[in-house]
Amino acid sequence: MKEDSVFLMCDCHSHALYVEKFKDEEEVCISLFEHGYDGKRMTWFERLRWCHRIIIHGHPWTDSVILNTENQIKLKEFLNEHK
């Protein structure tokens, strides 16, 4: 893992958060991960729903957020206030 990033596993062990600081950029990228479907196979309806989403939007669902400096400060303040 890069020195200017952190990977945080959810206490439920089925989700994770990856935060990366871009080199020579002020933005930070936050990516969200899910461990899948607990080993269950997706139903046909679920597969069609995913296909529809990809065809319409070009990707299944949004899983990352890029924060500028102002929003990084807001996030930091919020997290510090709610420890």
What pLDDT, on a 0 to 100 scale, did the predictor assign at position 35? Answer: 67
Quote the DSSP letter at residue 61. S
Residue 1 has pLDDT above 60, yes or no: no
Count of structural domains within the chain:
1
> Which range marks the domain in which residue 41 is found?
5-81
Query: Could you tell me the pTM of the whole model?
Result: 0.58
What pLDDT, on a 0 to 100 scale, did the predictor assign at position 23? Answer: 81
The model's pLDDT over 31-83, given as tens digits with 9 standing for 90+, comes to: 888 766 555 777 899 889 888 888 988 876 667 778 888 888 998 898 888 76
Kindly give the residue spans of alpha helices, DSSP state H, lying in 1-43. Answer: none
